[in-house]
Structure 1
Amino acid sequence: MLKQFFILCSGSDVSILQHCSNGEQNKYAGIGATVFFTAVMAFIAGSYALYTVFDNLLTAIFFGLVWGLLIFNLDRFIVSTIKKRSRKRDELIQASPRIILAVIIAIVISKPLELKIFEKEINHVLLEQKNDMSLSNQAQIAQQYTPNITKLENNITHLENQIATKEAKVNALYATYISEAEGTSGTMKLGKGPVYKEKREKHDAALAELQQLKTDNNAKIAEAETQITALKAAYEAHVSSTQPIINGFDGLMARVNALDQLPWLPSFFIFLLFLAIETSPIFAKLLSPKGEYDFKLEDAETAVKTWVEQKVNERKLLLNTDMALNNRIYDDIAKEDDLYAYKRKKARELMQLQADAFFKHQKKAL
């Protein structure tokens, strides 16, 4: 049962092969088994590749099955269309486009399996790329908020400097009127005289201005700090909203690019393995001598070809004979006087009818 299934997978003519030797049947069963298991590997590879795209197991299995059947049909077609020829050169020319197609299929099948085999290494490369992308994303987003934050911080610094300058001025006025009262400077007279009162008034006026300045500037500073807090919150929200996009950067194309950054030799050997599997049925047929099945198949095909050519030639001869007979018959009829007189009479009648119709038409036009 299994042998018959693999023979069916090889694309050979079962009705011819069942009358061949066991060795011939085993050869084509081996070819069919290679075709079948290549399709199985294609199904696995296609399902994994599509799972990285859709993130849905059932969808990936369905489309992977379609992909596996497509590869199975292509491989079966490639193997079944290779015929044994009398010269190896003709066989090689015949197989060349099929070998190219097999190479393409091997590349398509091997790539998803390479992604699965080197999954841990690819995840490490993707992690480094995601970290770099996160830092770059944060820097780009910061460019949208940093100028405004810096401007507000500079404004706060300016307001604080105004308060500090005013405080220094008030402190200086305080020291002046105190030293005047103590007689250590100014008029050098001890006591609270007119000069002391004048300096005290200046200090009190500056102190009132300082209190008003603190009230106004502190309100402005509080407002600026509120704006800075809002901008920082907006920055964090923007980073948080864009981070899932970076975290999801592990699709099929990203993994293929990450695989390209790994050493190429292991991937190349995996590709060679699948190339050998994919092309082995073709080379098996090319290298094997012309067997019993090939002779019987050629006999069946040439029999049909000869029969078709015979039928075509018979139809050509029949057509040529019929044309020759028709020419002779019509030549003989053309020489009969009765036929000539009858056709002359009918031609005369036809011309009379045409003349009458033309006369009636012209009469109506007048």
Structure 2
Amino acid sequence: MLKDFFILCSGSDKNILKSCSSGEQNKYAGIGATVFFTALMAFIASSYALYTVFDNVFTAIFFGLVWGLLIFNLDRFIVSTIKKRDRFWSEFLQATPRIILAVIIAVVISKPLEMKIFEKEINQVLLEQKNEMTLANKQQIARQYTPAVEALNQEIAGLKAEIDNKEAETNALYETYISEAEGRAGTMLLGKGPVYKEKREKHDAYLLELQQLKETNRAKIAEKETQIAALNAEYAQTVDASQPVIDGFDGLMARINALGELPWFPSFFIFLLFLAIETAPIIAKLLAPKGPYDLKVEEEESTVETWVKQKVHQRQQILATDTVLNEKIYGEIAEEEAVYAYKKQKAEELMRLQADNFHDIQINSL
């Protein structure tokens, strides 16, 4: 039963092949098996490729089955139409379109399986690309928020500098009135005199201003720090929102590009392997020697061709003979007086009827 199935896959005539030897049947069963397994490989490869696109097993299997059946039907048709006539180059010319198509199909089939074979290496390349994209994305988004954050930080630094300057002035006044009291500066008189009191009041006024400035600036600093925190939170949210796009950067095209960054040598030989598989049915038929089956097919075709040519020739002869006879018969009839007189009488009757009819129409129109 398996042998019959593979013979069916080869596209050969089962009735003719049954009259051939067992070896001839095995040869065409082998060609059919090549056609079948090529289609099976096309089904597996296309299903995996479509799974990476649709991410759905049933959809991938359905369209993969359609693709496999298409390849099966195409190979079976081409193999069955290549006739062994001991003219290799003529047969090769018939198979050329399929060989060109085999190169295209080999690329389509080999790439998904290459991606599966080198999946770990591709994942490593994709991981590096994702990390680079993540850093680039953060830098790009940061450029939108950095100017505002830096401006706020500068304002905070200015407010803090204002406090520091006021505090330095206050401390200097403190040192001034203490030195006056100790007699180390100013009047150089020990004790708390009028000058000390004046300097102490000035220090106390500056100290009050410093406290008010600290309260005011701290409130402003807190407000600006809140704005910075809001900008940082918004920046983090924007990065988090864009990260899933980067994490999802592992589709079919991304994997093909990642595969292209790996060494070409292993991929090239996998491509050659699938090219050999794809062209196997055609090569098997081209290289197969002319056998009894081919002779019987050629005999049957030549029988039909000869029979058709005979029928056409016979019809041509009948037509030529009938034409000669008709010309002779009608020539003899044309020479008979009775026929001439009869035709003349009928023509006269027809002309009278036409004249009467024309006369009646003219009267009715008056």
Partner of 1:113: 113
Partner of 2:344: 340
Are the aligned partners of 1:51 and 1:60 in contact in 2 as well (CA < 8 Å)? yes
**Percent of aligned positions with the same letter in both sequences?**
68
Question: What do the CA deviations read for 1:184-228 (whole angstroms, capped 9, x no partner)?
Answer: 222333344433333233222222222221111111111111111
Partner of 1:265: 265
Partner of 1:20: 20
Q: CA deviation at 1:104?
A: 2.3
Matched, 1:79 2:83: no
Matched, 1:349 2:353: yes
Q: Which runs of 5+ in 2 are unaligned?
A: none
Q: Give me the whole-angstrom Cα distance separating, in 2, the residues matched to 1:235 and 1:214.
A: 31
Partner of 1:221: 221
Change in Cα spacing, 1:255 to 1:359, as seen in structure 2 (3 Å) is farther
Q: Give me the whole-angstrom Cα distance separating, in 2, the residues matched to 1:218 and 1:11.
A: 91
Q: State the TM-score, normalizing by the size of structure 1.
A: 0.90
Partner of 2:282: 282
Q: CA deviation at 1:289?
A: 2.4
Question: What do the CA deviations read for 1:236-280 (whole angstroms, capped 9, x no partner)?
Answer: 111112212211111111111111111111111112222222222
Change in Cα spacing, 1:360 to 1:220, as seen in structure 2 (3 Å) is farther
What is the alpha-carbon root mean square deviation over aligned residues?
A: 2.4
Q: Give me the whole-angstrom Cα distance separating, in 1, the residues matched to 2:218 and 2:78.
A: 84
Partner of 1:308: 308
Partner of 2:64: 64
Q: Which amino acid aligns with 1:205?
A: A
Q: Give me the whole-angstrom Cα distance separating, in 1, the residues matched to 2:183 and 2:210.
A: 27
Q: Give me the whole-angstrom Cα distance separating, in 1, the residues matched to 2:168 and 2:355.
A: 134
Change in Cα spacing, 1:200 to 1:54, as seen in structure 2 (3 Å) is same
Q: CA deviation at 1:318?
A: 4.8
Change in Cα spacing, 1:18 to 1:182, as seen in structure 2 (3 Å) is same
Partner of 1:155: 155
Q: Give me the whole-angstrom Cα distance separating, in 1, the residues matched to 2:343 and 2:57.
A: 87
Within a 5 Å distance, the mapping from 1:125-136 to structure 2 comes to 125-136=125-136
Q: CA deviation at 1:345?
A: 3.5
Q: Secondary structure at the match of 1:184?
A: coil
Q: Which amino acid aligns with 2:171?
A: N
Q: CA deviation at 1:351?
A: 5.6
Question: What do the CA deviations read for 1:71-130 (whole angstroms, capped 9, x no partner)?
Answer: 111221221121112422322222222222222222222221111111111111111111
Change in Cα spacing, 1:302 to 1:355, as seen in structure 2 (3 Å) is farther
Are the aligned partners of 1:99 and 1:279 in contact in 2 as well (CA < 8 Å)? yes
Moved more, 331-340 or 104-113: 331-340
Q: CA deviation at 1:329?
A: 6.1
Partner of 2:145: 145
Q: Give me the whole-angstrom Cα distance separating, in 2, the residues matched to 1:351 and 1:240.
A: 104
Q: Give me the whole-angstrom Cα distance separating, in 1, the residues matched to 2:311 and 2:75.
A: 35
Q: Secondary structure at the match of 1:189?
A: coil
Change in Cα spacing, 1:331 to 1:187, as seen in structure 2 (3 Å) is farther
Q: Give me the whole-angstrom Cα distance separating, in 1, the residues matched to 2:187 and 2:355.
A: 154
Q: Give me the whole-angstrom Cα distance separating, in 2, the residues matched to 1:212 and 1:356.
A: 131
Change in Cα spacing, 1:344 to 1:182, as seen in structure 2 (3 Å) is farther
Moved more, 80-89 or 135-144: 80-89
Moved more, 159-168 or 273-282: 273-282
Q: Which runs of 5+ in 1 are unaligned?
A: none
Change in Cα spacing, 1:259 to 1:354, as seen in structure 2 (3 Å) is farther
Change in Cα spacing, 1:326 to 1:182, as seen in structure 2 (3 Å) is farther
Q: Which amino acid aligns with 2:146?
A: T
Partner of 1:32: 32
Tell me the matched-pair count: 362
Q: Secondary structure at the match of 1:246?
A: helix
Q: CA deviation at 1:60?
A: 1.7
Change in Cα spacing, 1:222 to 1:76, as seen in structure 2 (3 Å) is same
Q: Which amino acid aligns with 1:123?
A: N
Q: Which amino acid aligns with 2:76?
A: R
Q: CA deviation at 1:3?
A: 0.5
Change in Cα spacing, 1:89 to 1:202, as seen in structure 2 (3 Å) is same
Q: CA deviation at 1:165?
A: 0.8
Q: Secondary structure at the match of 2:271?
A: helix
Are the aligned partners of 1:71 and 1:105 in contact in 2 as well (CA < 8 Å)? no
Q: Give me the whole-angstrom Cα distance separating, in 2, the residues matched to 1:234 and 1:332.
A: 112
